[in-house]
Chains A and B, each alone.
Chain A
Amino acid sequence: MMVSKIWLLIVLSLFQSTTVKPGTELLGFTLNQTPSDVVAQLGPPEGVDDSLPNYVSWLFKGNARDERDYAYIVCFRRSDNRLVSVTRTFEKDEIVDHLFPDGSFTVHNWPSDDNPQFSVRVRTLSDGRLLLAMGSGQAGKPCGQLVLIDREMLPFFFPWITKPEPPKTL
């Protein structure tokens, strides 16, 4: 039932303006969803990029008015059709502090802590999931993109982010 309510949040945020806090719907992705599950809940994607050997991306525009960006990019691993990441790109940068309560995240700087040019907040969720606030290394800093990713995929997509601590019970 909880998962169904989260899916409703996803649909609402995708297709109309609501009072749902930005990015909340990402928490409803367990990364166990199959492609059929995604279609059943979100409808078919507006675009599919299958040019990579190992991954397939589904692209959802939603209410995005910018003709270049997609509101959601859902990435599957070809070998087992496993959902490995969901990227939520906002039309305008949003405050996402509600998703990163104090003490729940670590901050990672690229290329180094001494010379941070790009920072990410990383929160460990249950079941091996990580939530990343791209370009937003501290509370109050607007974020243009959230990424929900399988912890095992971090070395492949974001190798510069040190593996965070094992998940704690929430």
Chain B
Amino acid sequence: MTKKLTIPTVAVFLVLLTCSSLVAQTAPSMRIVLPERTRLLQGQLVDVVLEIRNASSISSLKVTADGVDITSRFGTPQSAQLDCDATADIVVRANLQSFETVGNVVLRAEGTAGATAISDSRTIEVRPFNMSGRRNVILFIGDAMGTAYRDAARLVSKSIVDASGKNSFREGFFDELLEMDKMPISGHVMTYGSDSVIPDSANTGTAWATGNKSYLNAVNSFGDGTDCRWRFNGATNAANLPYILDNPRVENLWQYMKRRLGYRTGIVTTADVTDATPAVEGAYSGYRQTRFEIARQYIQNPMLGNRPAFDVIMGGGIDQFVPAARPDRRNLIEEFQALGFNYVTSATDLEKATQAIGRSNLLGLFRGNAAPASNSAGLAAADSNMDVAYDKLRLTRPASEPLPDFGGFTDQPMLDRMTARAIDFLSHTAGTLFGAANSPFILMVEGASIDKQSHPNNAAGTIWDTIELDRAVGVARTWAAGRNDTLIVVTADHDQSMSIIGVNNVPDVEYFDRGKRQDFSFTSARGQHGFTIYGDSFANTRASIPFINSSDTTANRNGVAGIPGSFTGATSAADPYSDTYSTYYGFPAYPKDPASGYPLNSAQPGQILRRLAVGFRTGDHTGSSVPVTADGPGAFLFTGYMDQTDIFFKMATSLGGDTTDGDKFVNDVLKRYPSPIGRKDDGK
């Protein structure tokens, strides 16, 4: 017989359900603040933090690692307010811990809160690190340099037409490929963050620098229960700095190698040196915009007992270091100099910088603002990124792109020279009576404005910055050729939305004319909207511009699919397609500046100019996988599809492991099988 639920039974059931729900909400709980898939190298430092919720006391706390009691490593439990609610909480910390046992280490924490037993566990994969290596690693990051960006750099810089009219890109083949194309090993990298498909430079940098993923804007730190104070209502300011810096930290490869093996370390960037990509090599913060704190950690690094994180620092960002802007009024530049750093602020001075006993290091800050000052949040001064390659070369910007303003910093070095000087300083240490000692090093070089120019869809700015990065790769490959001790890796942190859409013939007179424009506007329920088309639009179809259909024929529905062609309205009789772009026919053709070696973006007398046409879909990052190329010992590890965190472990394996068998196989293959056209067998 089926028993029916009576009303009293239902009422009791509902009461019990409500009570159990309330109990679940207020019951004490414990969480080890580490990701589910935490991976560490032997000896890599990490903060182990326990968050106990809905409890005002904890007793019988016991923490074990593979059964070994490590409770004594933890500090006194501290009361806390987690999750921005009214309940009492507790935090217990063991900062800068490490695990030497290789394999899966089960971390288990348990205790009693009130009368409730609570516990949590986490399995940490600890990987071996061989301490015997003395190899170097140079990691190149093209910020946002996805596949299309490499392609654009190749199509512009390797489609050079000489005086006789011969194009170095003919019949679909290049006479010479990019430096990064010539690297023998390639793979693909997935760049997802721990909280989103679309990442940023901070959490992607955390991935390759530490081997672990984190949330957007995180610099080598994991999320914790006090993040609600600043992440979720945007109140990122000096008053919340304690809650931004309390996030559990995980050591990056630069500090790991310096701390354990005395490696020399460096960062070179065209951004402000405290921007996210360089910051992940030298600082630890829950939020990438804590620039003053990041600069401070460069000189007082928490993983190194407050010693400097780097031996070489180069880029923009003077403001973050000077007392006029810093709330603590410290002069970090003078402090670096007192610690033996040469300080330079121009390309000229960079070339003159030399090592001497007690002065083996280099600080180069090549850009600042006119009046350094803190922003109202008290965490940073305004960005002062270096000017982009296109502007440093004094090329004329296309009509839709902003004109340069060097702010008085007219002698900024190119990235290849910054890379060359960084290698000079890192690979040697002055200080012995017998000359400079050879030192192993790990260096990160970033082409930052590939991304920064891509956000506003400035095609010329982003493409020439990619070419600049490639030339820097060439400097490193030339230095490393024949040494057999230097791994070079070139990759991106994430992608952006540029794509290759064709070849464009618009004449200079319209490409550069800022006075010639068409403004389009329309009204929606959300107000007035509009976009502007300049003469360079057919070489740069910005995200704001609807697809430009070059045909207004009946077959294309009279151009209804997009903005019809003939924008310029002045078709040249000699070149009837000068007012459109061509999707299917023709190759780019650029003249070259013999002085700089860079392609020129304007027609030269007697020479053809056909520009590459690109388009953008958004002004933001994308979730597409990005290419990675590698050369040198251990390069073979960078094949196939991989997660971005794997880059950390692959670099570590090359630095410390025996990769002889794999390296020999790669060299045999390279010798035995035909090289791609355009990859000269020049010993590189």
| Residues on A facing B (Cβ under 8 Å) | 11-12, 15-16, 43, 49, 51-55, 57, 65, 67-68, 70, 73, 75, 85, 87, 89, 93, 110-111, 117-118, 120, 134-136, 141-145, 147, 149, 153, 156-160
In chain B, positions 362-388 with a C-beta closer than 8 Å to chain A are: 375-378
Complex interface: chain B residues within 8 A of A147 (CB): 233, 235
**In the bound complex, do residue B234 and residue A145 qualify as a contact, i.e. CB atoms below 8 Å apart?**
yes
Task: State how many angstroms separate the Cβ of B589 from the closest Cβ of chain A.
Answer: 33
B569 within 8 A of A: no
Complex interface: chain A residues within 8 A of B228 (CB): 52, 54-55, 156-157
Complex interface: chain B residues within 8 A of A75 (CB): 232-233
**In the bound complex, do residue A67 and residue B377 qualify as a contact, i.e. CB atoms below 8 Å apart?**
no
- A68 to B455, alpha carbons, bound, how many Å? 11
- A144 to B217, alpha carbons, bound, how many Å? 19
Residue of A16, A118, A134, A160 near B528 (CB, 8 A) is: A16
In chain B, positions 194-214 with a C-beta closer than 8 Å to chain A are: 195, 200
A-B pairs with CB below 8 Å: how many?
A: 107
Residue of B85, B327, B526 near A156 (CB, 8 A) is: B85
Residue of A55, A65, A73 near B234 (CB, 8 A) is: A73
Complex interface: chain A residues within 8 A of B223 (CB): 51
Beyond the given A135-B376, A156-B81, A157-B84, could you list 9 further A-B residue pairs with CB under 8 A, ordered by the A residue number? A12-B527, A15-B527, A49-B232, A52-B84, A54-B228, A67-B620, A118-B239, A135-B237, A144-B377
Task: State how many angstroms separate the Cβ of A102 from the closest Cβ of chain B.
Answer: 20
In chain B, positions 219-240 with a C-beta closer than 8 Å to chain A are: 223, 227-229, 231-235, 237-239
Can you list 23 A-B contacts (CB < 8 A)?
Answer: A11-B527, A15-B529, A16-B528, A49-B231, A51-B223, A52-B84, A54-B84, A55-B228, A57-B232, A73-B232, A73-B233, A75-B233, A110-B238, A117-B239, A134-B376, A136-B376, A144-B376, A145-B376, A147-B235, A149-B233, A153-B84, A156-B86, A157-B84
- A168 to B305, alpha carbons, bound, how many Å? 53
Residue of B233, B288, B327, B455 near A67 (CB, 8 A) is: B455
Can you list the 3 inter-chain pairs with the closest CB atoms, starting with the nearest? A135-B376, A156-B84, A144-B376
Contact with A along B62-97 (1 / 0, CB 8 A): 000000000000000000010111100000000000
**In the bound complex, do residue A54 and residue B83 qualify as a contact, i.e. CB atoms below 8 Å apart?**
yes
B215 within 8 A of A: yes
Residue of A51, A70, A93 near B375 (CB, 8 A) is: A93
Q: A43-B526, A110-B238 are in contact. Are A57 and B233 (CB under 8 A)?
A: yes
**In the bound complex, do residue A54 and residue B215 qualify as a contact, i.e. CB atoms below 8 Å apart?**
no
**In the bound complex, do residue B233 and residue A157 qualify as a contact, i.e. CB atoms below 8 Å apart?**
yes
- A36 to B302, alpha carbons, bound, how many Å? 46
B456 within 8 A of A: yes
- A33 to B527, alpha carbons, bound, how many Å? 22
Complex interface: chain A residues within 8 A of B83 (CB): 52-54
Residue of A43, A87, A111 near B233 (CB, 8 A) is: A87
**In the bound complex, do residue A68 and residue B289 qualify as a contact, i.e. CB atoms below 8 Å apart?**
yes
Task: State how many angstroms separate the Cβ of B329 from the closest Cβ of chain A.
Answer: 11
Complex interface: chain B residues within 8 A of A52 (CB): 83-84, 227-228, 231-232
Q: A67-B620, A156-B84, A159-B81 are in contact. Are A87 and B376 (CB under 8 A)?
A: no
In chain B, positions 83-113 with a C-beta closer than 8 Å to chain A are: 83-86
**In the bound complex, do residue A85 and residue B233 qualify as a contact, i.e. CB atoms below 8 Å apart?**
yes
Complex interface: chain B residues within 8 A of A89 (CB): 234
B316 within 8 A of A: no
Task: State how many angstroms separate the Cβ of B382 from the closest Cβ of chain A.
Answer: 9
**In the bound complex, do residue B237 and residue A134 qualify as a contact, i.e. CB atoms below 8 Å apart?**
yes
Q: A65-B456, A110-B239 are in contact. Are A55 and B232 (CB under 8 A)?
A: yes
Complex interface: chain B residues within 8 A of A142 (CB): 376
In chain B, positions 523-544 with a C-beta closer than 8 Å to chain A are: 526-529
Query: Which of chain B's residues has its CB closest to A43's CB?
Result: B526
Complex interface: chain B residues within 8 A of A143 (CB): 376
Query: Which of chain A's residues has its CB closest to B620's CB?
Result: A67
Task: State how many angstroms separate the Cβ of B271 from the closest Cβ of chain A.
Answer: 13
Instruction: Report the interface size class on chain B.
Output: 35 or more
B619 within 8 A of A: yes
Most buried by A among B81, B215, B375: B375
Q: A16-B527, A144-B377 are in contact. Are A157 and B81 (CB under 8 A)?
A: no
Task: State how many angstroms separate the Cβ of A106 from the closest Cβ of chain B.
Answer: 16
Query: Which of chain B's residues has its CB closest to A61's CB?
Result: B620
**In the bound complex, do residue A51 and residue B215 qualify as a contact, i.e. CB atoms below 8 Å apart?**
yes
- A28 to B238, alpha carbons, bound, how many Å? 28
Task: State how many angstroms separate the Cβ of A91 from the closest Cβ of chain B.
Answer: 11
Task: State how many angstroms separate the Cβ of B246 from the closest Cβ of chain A.
Answer: 15
- A117 to B379, alpha carbons, bound, how many Å? 11
Task: State how many angstroms separate the Cβ of A66 from the closest Cβ of chain B.
Answer: 9
Complex interface: chain B residues within 8 A of A134 (CB): 235, 237, 376-377
Q: A43-B526, A55-B228 are in contact. Are A87 and B235 (CB under 8 A)?
A: yes
Q: A118-B237, A145-B376 are in contact. Are A11 and B526 (CB under 8 A)?
A: yes
- A87 to B217, alpha carbons, bound, how many Å? 18
Task: State how many angstroms separate the Cβ of A79 from the closest Cβ of chain B.
Answer: 9
Task: State how many angstroms separate the Cβ of B199 from the closest Cβ of chain A.
Answer: 13
- A5 to B215, alpha carbons, bound, how many Å? 38
Complex interface: chain A residues within 8 A of B455 (CB): 67
Complex interface: chain B residues within 8 A of A149 (CB): 233
- A143 to B377, alpha carbons, bound, how many Å? 8
- A57 to B234, alpha carbons, bound, how many Å? 9
Task: State how many angstroms separate the Cβ of A141 from the closest Cβ of chain B.
Answer: 7
Residue of A65, A68, A145 near B235 (CB, 8 A) is: A145
Task: State how many angstroms separate the Cβ of B241 from the closest Cβ of chain A.
Answer: 9
- A57 to B231, alpha carbons, bound, how many Å? 9
Complex interface: chain A residues within 8 A of B327 (CB): 117
**In the bound complex, do residue B233 and residue A144 qualify as a contact, i.e. CB atoms below 8 Å apart?**
no
Complex interface: chain A residues within 8 A of B376 (CB): 93, 134-136, 141-145
Most buried by A among B234, B456, B621: B234
Query: Which of chain B's residues has its CB closest to A94's CB?
Result: B376
Complex interface: chain B residues within 8 A of A136 (CB): 376
**In the bound complex, do residue B378 and residue A117 qualify as a contact, i.e. CB atoms below 8 Å apart?**
yes
Query: Which of chain A's residues has its CB closest to B85's CB?
Result: A54
**In the bound complex, do residue A15 and residue B526 qualify as a contact, i.e. CB atoms below 8 Å apart?**
yes
- A117 to B239, alpha carbons, bound, how many Å? 8
Complex interface: chain B residues within 8 A of A157 (CB): 84, 228-229, 233, 235
- A55 to B233, alpha carbons, bound, how many Å? 9
- A153 to B81, alpha carbons, bound, how many Å? 13
**In the bound complex, do residue A70 and residue B231 qualify as a contact, i.e. CB atoms below 8 Å apart?**
no
- A157 to B83, alpha carbons, bound, how many Å? 10
Q: A54-B84, A55-B84, A57-B232 are in contact. Are A144 and B375 (CB under 8 A)?
A: yes
Complex interface: chain A residues within 8 A of B232 (CB): 49, 52, 55, 57, 73, 75
- A71 to B377, alpha carbons, bound, how many Å? 15
Contact with A along B489-528 (1 / 0, CB 8 A): 0000000000000000000000000000000000000111
Task: State how many angstroms separate the Cβ of A95 from the closest Cβ of chain B.
Answer: 11
Complex interface: chain B residues within 8 A of A55 (CB): 84, 228, 232
- A136 to B237, alpha carbons, bound, how many Å? 12
Complex interface: chain A residues within 8 A of B526 (CB): 11, 15, 43
Query: Which of chain B's residues has its CB closest to A72's CB?
Result: B234
Task: State how many angstroms separate the Cβ of B448 from the closest Cβ of chain A.
Answer: 13
Task: State how many angstroms separate the Cβ of A26 from the closest Cβ of chain B.
Answer: 13
- A141 to B455, alpha carbons, bound, how many Å? 31
Most buried by B among A15, A75, A118, A147: A118
Complex interface: chain A residues within 8 A of B289 (CB): 68
Task: State how many angstroms separate the Cβ of A18 from the closest Cβ of chain B.
Answer: 10
Complex interface: chain B residues within 8 A of A43 (CB): 526
Contact with A along B639-662 (1 / 0, CB 8 A): 000000000000000000000000
- A25 to B532, alpha carbons, bound, how many Å? 28
